[in-house]
């Protein structure tokens, strides 16, 4: 950033008032506790951390093991992006801080060591309220400062929020203090006892961070003790990005099958890399333990088991609230299945249809997709054929209002003629012999909210097929309310080695990787070698 550009940025920054970031003292709307009086969800060295009397306590002693590095108690139920965090702290000795949007490097730094933005607090009250970069640049704002952090520059003081000593006098030494951290975009504000301590804007496009871990610091050096309680998190809308939350169910069908976590991580990375204006995050292992997971989500993508094993089966009220507020919903493979009644009704409200047992079927077959509708999700698609567990004969509304089929093919007759079972050979399916069926569809709700259903995705390696992958990336982009490029969302086809990453189950000895490599080479040739 040139000095002229920095000057313009500072001028613009100073012209932005505090009103967009103010919160009335005592207004707890949207704040959710993330500490439940145990260390469930918090990860730290048990030699130093404990929960007692509704309080997190971190302590080092003369007799205890010494700290070689600053260590942290890390919140593992989610990461934070745009948020407000409130908590109370009390220091008896030493210094500490609350990390946010932070990162790990366990191979180099060791366990329980992280770096990133830190809201400082200490017993001597020298640093309390300041913004520090732990293992991450320098002191970014001393108490009392308003700063702009530019590329390759020391933070520039562009104004004051108060006098350092006068602000320090507002902090209760050796007693409880209320801390608030407000982070929206790259604007950061720290408050203690209702008073603004720093106000910073991070304009270093290479170094700044939009999301990461939350953690409490325990400082190396002389014995120290820190107490933290009443930790409440509020997600703030990401005004310049569409937030896409992936929910990955646990693996359930063995290696390379229903590899929910591996697929969600891969798709989220592709969205972040190839779709400007998005911020995709992944929750692994089923319904998130983070109570704020969906609070600022624009779109929710679920790849998981279905029916009673669906992540939302025990959280139907949450699903209903997401639909009512217009959140985009994407269900992939088994996640399109719900039990009849309210679950199936809500899935229909969310995405326009669902897999209903004793009505829909789930055979393995090779679907040939020859034609596509004039719809943004179909942009860039070429005719393709691929074998998968393609569910079909979904329970759609009788008038198909709001539903646009995206992938349609005629299943082989033998897939209809199997013995009758809750997921195969039903009378309704047999009566539809030789007719086209829809394996993927888009939905526009009456209020304008968007949904998408996709029944493929049993075999993880199918994500290496350019058309298979493109239709889902296009759909997520469209459901999020973003423009799908003319030729569809671009993405690089994953290699065989990359497909093997993040699998839920160990690789079996009889895994036929040669078959997968052959398929990948075939698809590469069909797509012109891209």
What is the length of the chain? 530
CB neighbour list of residue 7: distance below 8 Å, 6 or more residues apart:
none
Neighbours of 486 (CB within 10 A): 8
pLDDT at 220: 92
Shared domain check, 226 and 267: no
Residue written as token pair 């029944």: 455
Q: Exposure of 365 by Cβ count < 10 A (0-12 exposed, 13-18 middle, 19+ buried)?
A: middle
Shared domain check, 278 and 214: no
Shared domain check, 205 and 164: yes
Phi, psi of 23 (to 5 degrees): -135, 135
State the alpha helices, DSSP H only, in 155-221.
164-168
Record the tokens describing residue 84, joined without a space. Answer: 């407000």
Shared domain check, 21 and 158: yes
CATH number at residue 183: 2.60.120.560
Across 236-315, where does the E strand assignment appear?
242-248, 278-283, 299-303
pLDDT at 16: 40
Phi, psi of 337 (to 5 degrees): -95, 135
**Dihedral sign, CA of 41, 45, 46, 50?**
negative
CA angle 455, 458, 464 (to 5 degrees): 100
Rounded Cα distance between 209 and 292, Å, is 20
Record the tokens describing residue 496, joined without a space. Answer: 């065989």
8 to 1, 160, 212: CA distances (angstroms)? 11, 18, 29
Shared domain check, 101 and 247: no
Across 195-276, where does the E strand assignment appear?
195-202, 212-218, 224-235, 242-248
The residues facing 329 across adjacent strands are 300, 451
For residue 421, the SS3 value is: strand
Shared domain check, 150 and 280: no
Neighbours of 83 (CB within 10 A): 21
Strand-pair category, 384-389 with 32-33: unpaired
Shared domain check, 312 and 221: no
Across 249-339, where does the E strand assignment appear?
278-283, 299-303, 328-332
Looking at 208, 235, 262, the residue that finishes a domain is 235
For residue 266, the SS3 value is: helix
* DSSP per-residue letters across 326-368: T-EEEEEGGGGB--TTHHHHHHHHHHS-BB-TTT-B--EEEEE
Shared domain check, 386 and 262: yes
Shared domain check, 465 and 427: yes
Shared domain check, 255 and 204: no
Looking at 235, 256, 286, the residue that finishes a domain is 235
**Dihedral sign, CA of 297, 298, 304, 308?**
positive
| 173 neighbors 190 (Cβ within 8 angstroms) | no
Shared domain check, 224 and 247: no
Looking at 235, 260, 294, the residue that finishes a domain is 235
Domain span including residue 184: 3-235
pLDDT at 3: 45
| 118 neighbors 219 (Cβ within 8 angstroms) | no
> To the nearest 10°, the Cα dihedral for 427, 428, 429, 431?
80
Shared domain check, 214 and 272: no
| 232 neighbors 28 (Cβ within 8 angstroms) | yes
355 to 225, 287, 307: CA distances (angstroms)? 55, 20, 9
Across 236-327, where does the E strand assignment appear?
242-248, 278-283, 299-303
191 to 216, 245, 420, 424: CA distances (angstroms)? 17, 29, 64, 60
CATH number at residue 438: 3.40.50.880
Compute mean pLDDT per 10 residues along the chain, 530 residues long, and list them: 44 42 65 96 96 96 88 97 98 94 96 96 94 94 97 90 97 96 98 98 95 97 95 97 97 91 98 98 97 98 96 98 98 98 98 96 96 98 97 95 98 89 84 95 98 97 97 98 98 95 90 91 79
- pTM, 2 dp: 0.93
Residue written as token pair 């999020």: 480
- The rounded Cα 266 to chain-centroid distance in angstroms is 13
Q: Count up the domains in the chain and report the number.
A: 2
CA angle 300, 201, 78 (to 5 degrees): 30
State the alpha helices, DSSP H only, in 2-129.
3-14, 106-109
């Amino acid at each position: 950033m040139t000095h002229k550009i920095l000057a313009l940025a500072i001028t613009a920054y100073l012209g932005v008032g505090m009103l967009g970031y103010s919160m009335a003292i005592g207004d707890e709307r949207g704040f959710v506790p993330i500490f439940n009086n145990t260390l469930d969800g918090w990860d730290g060295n048990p030699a130093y951390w404990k929960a007692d009397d509704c309080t997190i306590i971190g302590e080092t002693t003369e007799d205890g093991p010494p700290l070689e590095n600053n260590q942290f108690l890390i919140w593992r139920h989610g990461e934070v992006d745009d948020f407000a965090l409130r908590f109370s702290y009390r220091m008896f000795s030493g210094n500490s801080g609350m990390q946010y949007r932070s990162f790990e490097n366990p191979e180099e730094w060791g366990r329980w060591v992280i770096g990133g933005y830190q809201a400082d607090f200490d017993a001597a009250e020298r640093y309390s309220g300041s913004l520090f970069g732990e293992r991450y640049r320098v002191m970014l704002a001393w108490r009392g400062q308003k700063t702009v952090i530019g590329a390759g520059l020391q933070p520039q003081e562009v104004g004051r929020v108060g006098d350092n000593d006068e602000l320090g006098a507002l902090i209760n030494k050796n007693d409880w203090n209320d801390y608030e951290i407000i982070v929206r975009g790259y604007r950061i504000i720290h408050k203690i006892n209702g008073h603004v301590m720093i106000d910073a804007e991070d304009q270093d496009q290479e170094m700044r961070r939009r999301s990461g871990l939350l953690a409490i610091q325990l400082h190396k050096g002389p014995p120290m003790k820190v107490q933290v309680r009443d930790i409440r998190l509020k997600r703030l809308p990401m005004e310049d990005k569409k937030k896409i939350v992936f929910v990955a169910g646990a693996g359930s069908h063995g290696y390379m099958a229903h590899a929910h976590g591996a697929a969600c991580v891969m798709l989220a990375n592709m969205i972040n890399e190839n779709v400007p204006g998005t911020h995709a995050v992944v929750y692994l292992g089923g319904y998130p333990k983070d109570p704020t997971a969906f609070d600022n989500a624009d779109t929710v993508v679920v790849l998981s088991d279905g029916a009673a094993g669906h992540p939302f089966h025990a959280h139907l009220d949450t699903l209903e609230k997401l639909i009512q507020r217009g959140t985009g919903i994407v269900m992939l493979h088994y996640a399109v299945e719900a039990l009849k009644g309210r679950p199936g009704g809500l899935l229909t409200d969310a995405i326009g249809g669902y897999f209903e047992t004793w009505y829909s079927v789930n055979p393995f077959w090779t679907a040939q997709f020859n034609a596509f509708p004039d719809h943004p999700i179909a942009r860039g698609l070429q005719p393709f054929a691929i074998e998968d567990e393609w569910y079909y004969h979904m329970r759609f509304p009788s008038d198909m209002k709001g539903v646009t089929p995206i992938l349609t093919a005629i299943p082989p007759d033998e897939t209809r003629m199997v013995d009758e079972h809750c997921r195969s050979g039903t009378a309704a399916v047999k009566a539809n012999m030789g007719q086209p069926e829809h394996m993927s569809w888009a939905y526009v709700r009456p209020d304008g909210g968007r949904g998408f259903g996709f029944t493929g995705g049993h075999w993880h390696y199918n994500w290496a097929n350019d058309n298979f992958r493109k239709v889902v990336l296009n759909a997520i982009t469209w459901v999020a309310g973003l423009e799908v490029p003319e030729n569809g969302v671009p993405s690089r086809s994953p290699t065989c080695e990359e497909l093997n990453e993040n699998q839920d189950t160990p690789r079996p000895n009889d895994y036929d990787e040669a078959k997968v490599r052959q398929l990948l080479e075939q698809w590469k040739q069909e797509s012109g070698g891209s």
